[in-house]
Amino acid sequence: MGKGGAETFMMNAYRNIDRSKFQFDFLIYNDFVDVKPYNAEIHELGGHIYAVPNPKKNIVGYIKGVNALLKEKHFDIVHNEVFFGGGLNLLLAKWAGIEKRIIHSHATKDGKKSNLFLTTARKIFDYLMKVNATDYLACSTEAGVGLYGENQPFIFVPNGIDIDMYRNVPVKKEIIRKSLNIPKEAFVVGNIGRFEEQKNHFFLIDIFEEIVQKNPNSFLILIGEGSLRNKIEEKVLSKKLTKKSLIFRYKR
């Protein structure tokens, strides 16, 4: 399982929950079976990881896989973290007799390119999520209203992080700066996130342009992957910030 925002949220919850009362299993798409940053830890904590076909590529295989898993494992709760296909998860969970079906919104929209078919499919899946969920969660007011509408009550759950993970990092920042040819006294702005619309990198680059005007000895580090990578690089170039910006891919 990868290290995206939703995955990290779930792992933070998993580490800190009373595992004598609750145990987590995870359902992922076959596409991500080889993405394993959290796999070992999940198994150490007593969880399991199951994989099914991506519904965008094999909707029949996806339905069969999820349906078979839910009926075989007899889960008490299903917690849905995905937009596309999430409605099917909750519908199948309802059919399997699972009484607690949670939907969790992490964004105002999924950020994917759209056409008539995808727009129609999203509307259907959104409807299925809303009518088959028993509990509604969201990481912000905007994310909740964006998915559930103005009239559906939901619980606000902040995306808390474990700050101890960022204290006493063994690699000294001076070593990292030297490896990247960044002066010791330079001001550094760093961002780790998917290169997609929701992460708002274009606005970040605009902000960084203002920072450079006030402090020329500044650098921007962007780490991520996504469909907007080329456009982000083009914006950095158009702002004449190439020598001040470093863009890296994730290291698994």
Give 192-222 pLDDT, tens digit per residue: 888 888 788 999 999 999 999 999 999 999 9
Is pLDDT above 80 for 107?
A: no
Does 171 have pLDDT greater than 70?
yes
**Cross-sheet strand order for the sheet of 155-156:** 77-80, 100-105, 135-138, 155-156
Query: In this structure, which amino acid lies at residue 48?
Result: H
Q: How far apart are the first and last CA of the chain?
A: 11
Percent of the chain with pLDDT over 90: 44
What pLDDT score was predicted for residue 146? 83
3-state helix, strand, coil in the chain (%, to 5): 45, 15, 40
pLDDT confidence band for 100 (50 / 70 / 90): very high
Domains detected in the chain:
5-156 (3.40.50.2000), 169-248 (3.40.50.2000)
The string of pLDDT tens digits covering residues 58-85 is 889 989 999 999 999 999 999 988 766 6
* pLDDT score for 59: 86
Quickly count: other Cβ atoms within 10 Å of residue 148's Cβ: 20
Does residue 57 have a pLDDT over 90? no
Q: What is the pLDDT of residue 109?
A: 63
Please state which of the ranges 48-52, 119-123, 137-141 shows the lowest mean pLDDT. Answer: 119-123
Checking if the pLDDT of 28 tops 90, the result is no
pLDDT-derived band at 35, boundaries 50, 70, 90 = low
Confidence bin at 25 (pLDDT 50/70/90)? very high
Beta bridge partners of 66: none
CA distances from 196 to 49, 157, 228 (A): 26, 23, 6
What pLDDT is recorded for position 226?
Answer: 84
**pLDDT at 134 exceeding the cut of 90:** yes
Q: What is the pLDDT of residue 76?
A: 95
